[in-house]
Structure formats: structure tokens, C-alpha cells
Amino acid sequence: MFLLAIAFKACVTRNLFEAAMLFGIFSFLSATLFVVLDAADVAMTEAAVGAGVSTILMLSTLAVTGHSVRPGPKGRQMLSAAVAVALGLTLIYATLDMPKLGDPTAPVHTDALAKHYIEVSPVETGIPNMVTPLLASYRGYDTFGETAVVFTAGIGVLALIGRRRRKDGSLVEDGKGEDATVEKHRVLRVVSKQLIPAILLYAGYVQAHGDFGPGGGFQAGVIFASGLMLYMLLVGIDEAERVLKPRVMELLIAIGLLIYGGVGVINMLQGGAFLDYTTLAHDGQHGLHYGILAVELGVGITVTAVITTIIYAFAGHMRARQVEGHGHSDAPEGAQAQVLEGEGA
């Protein structure tokens, strides 16, 4: 009921800043619910992406567009409400065919394939966490496709709202100057400096320990990107770009996908099938371990680079608007009057 109340408030509020924060709270509470349901891998992703990355992206958008809802035509509002209600009722109707929570006769407990994964995969792969071989080995093609989708999303962001350039080709965000807020909030700065190394270290642990516990490339990627986002907020986007070059991040988007696909090509060159990791070592289980670690590393690199690149793209547009605003404010009064007269004409 608490989640329903938050969702309802987020839908009816007229303040978009409030709605963004409510969505973040909703995602964090959903992550705690996933933990209760023993879905730790999903909980990590929901907490990092839903409560962290998505909230930052929404707040970044509101910094450009404003946080107040502009009133639209009454008919369009009624149509939007009708579509939302119809979609909600459809989803509720679809849940009527789902088994009850904890039902021992549910297909997930009785299906032969699910039973095989649960009972045989730990012995067959030698990996205690059955989620990892399921994603990276049994359905490695699907995960490779999902990584390609993340790669495509990053390229799409660069194509649509990539870093702003002037007519001479130079970047609007030239890396000069410092953010005015860097020296403010000293307590936040001190605490964040202590948190960033811990976040990045935990991301490395999740990446390397995905075989034996909850985690893997995607979870590690979003956690690592969250640590980088905290660093950007702490030192400012200009300083962050000097340390984490946007061009390097753009290259890493492709490198991660190439690592994943390159493992499959190596398998084929050694006489196996694409993504057949058993060819990577003298023993099948050792080869499986090496292959999963390699492809998960590729996933983590691509996810981290895509999220960081999206943040850079949003920050670039925000800064470009600030530069344009300062340009208008610094112009002589006579020039501003001529601009206004020209617009009026």
C-alpha cells in the first residue's frame, strides 16, 4: 500500500522535482522488496539504476526544462488519463493468471528446464551462484544481445544529444572554469570523499565475485557508474572530464562489447561454438570460469561507459544553455534592445 501511495502521489503532483524524488523513493523501496524475495541481483540493479542513475538523469533534465508542469489542452489531459487507466487495468488483468506467491505448484517450481538449472547447473559449471552461468553461459546469446542494446542506447544518445559544439567545431564545454558549488557543502564533500573509494571497491567486488554471490557485469557497471556520478557531483563536471575523458568513455562503450564478442570469436577459432567457453582451458569448468569472467568484464565496461556518457551529454547541454544565457546577459544594452526589436519585428 505504501508503494501504491507513492506512485499515486507521483502521478498527481504538479511539481516535477517532487515527482522525480518520489520515483527515486519508489525504486529504493522496490529494491528492499526484492531483497525480501531473495532476488539480490535484481535488488542491486534497481537500487543503482532506479534510485540512483535514473533520479540523477531526471533531475538533470529538470535543470534544463524547469520543474513546473505547463497546463495543456483539457482534451489531451483526459486522453492521457484514459490511456494510463486502460494500461493499468490491462496489467492488473494480466496478473490474474499468475500463480500465487509461494505456490509450490507454480510452473517455475515444476518446469523440467527450471529444475535442471537449479539442480544440475552448480554441478555442471562448478559455479555456486546459478544466476551467473544462466545469464553468461546457458543464455549467453541473449546477454550478448542485451549488451548490444546498451551499446546502441549509448550511441543513440551521442547521436541525438551528444556534446554540443560551436560552429568552428570546438566543444561548448571547453573544460575552463570551476563550478561555483565546488567549495560549498564541506560536510558533503568530506563524506563523499570517503564513500567514493568504498563504492568503487564494492563495484570491483561485485564484478569479480559474481560467480559465488549476487552480482556480475551489469550490477558492477551501474554501481561503478554511480560512484563516478558522485565524483562528478563532488568536483564538478569540468574537473571530472579532465580525469575521465569523454572520448575515452565513448571508446569504452565499444570496447566492452568487443570483449564480449571477441571471446566468442576465440571460441570459434579454437574449434568450438560461439560463446562455448569450454575451449578456453584444458578443463571445461575452468574454461567456463574464464569465459564468464571475460564476458562479464565486457558487460561491466560497456554499462559503466554508457551511463557516464549519458551524464556527460546531459551536462553538456545544461552547460551550453548556461553559456548562451551568460552570452545574452553580457551583451551591451543597445545590442539586447536591437535583438528584442528584431524579435518583435
pLDDT for the residue numbered 322: 57
Q: Across-strand partners of 171? A: 165
pLDDT 10s digits, 257-300: 999 999 999 999 998 899 889 888 888 888 888 999 999 999 99
Tell me which of 227 and 213 has the higher pLDDT.
227
Q: pLDDT exceeding 90 applies to what percent of the chain?
A: 15
pLDDT for the residue numbered 282: 86
pLDDT 10s digits, 44-93: 888 888 888 888 888 877 877 777 777 777 778 788 889 989 998 999 89
Nearest C-alpha neighbor of 240 from the set 182, 299, 159, 169: 182
pLDDT(309) > 80 = yes
Distance (Å, whole) CA 40 – CA 227: 20
pLDDT for the residue numbered 175: 46
Q: Taking all residues of the chain, what is their mean pLDDT, rounded to a whole number?
A: 80
Nearest C-alpha neighbor of 298 from the set 268, 337, 260: 260
Determine the straight-line distance between the first and last CA of the chain, rounded to whole angstroms: 57
pLDDT for the residue numbered 342: 37
pLDDT for the residue numbered 135: 83
pLDDT(250) > 80 = yes
Residue type, 145: G
Q: Are 202 and 223 in contact (CB under 8 A)?
A: yes
Q: Are 64 and 318 in contact (CB under 8 A)?
A: yes
Question: pTM of the full predicted structure?
Answer: 0.75
Q: Across-strand partners of 68? A: 15
pLDDT(332) > 60 = no
Nearest C-alpha neighbor of 147 from the set 217, 214, 202: 217
pLDDT for the residue numbered 181: 46
pLDDT for the residue numbered 93: 92
- Whole-Å CA distances, 216 to 98, 106, 256, 335: 29, 28, 14, 57
pLDDT 10s digits, 147-195: 888 888 888 877 776 665 555 555 555 444 444 444 556 777 788 788 8
pLDDT 10s digits, 62-73: 877 777 777 777
pLDDT for the residue numbered 252: 93
Give the pLDDT band of residue 253 (cuts 50, 70, 90).
Answer: very high
pLDDT(334) > 90 = no
Distance (Å, whole) CA 174 – CA 323: 11
pLDDT 10s digits, 102-121: 788 888 778 888 888 888 88
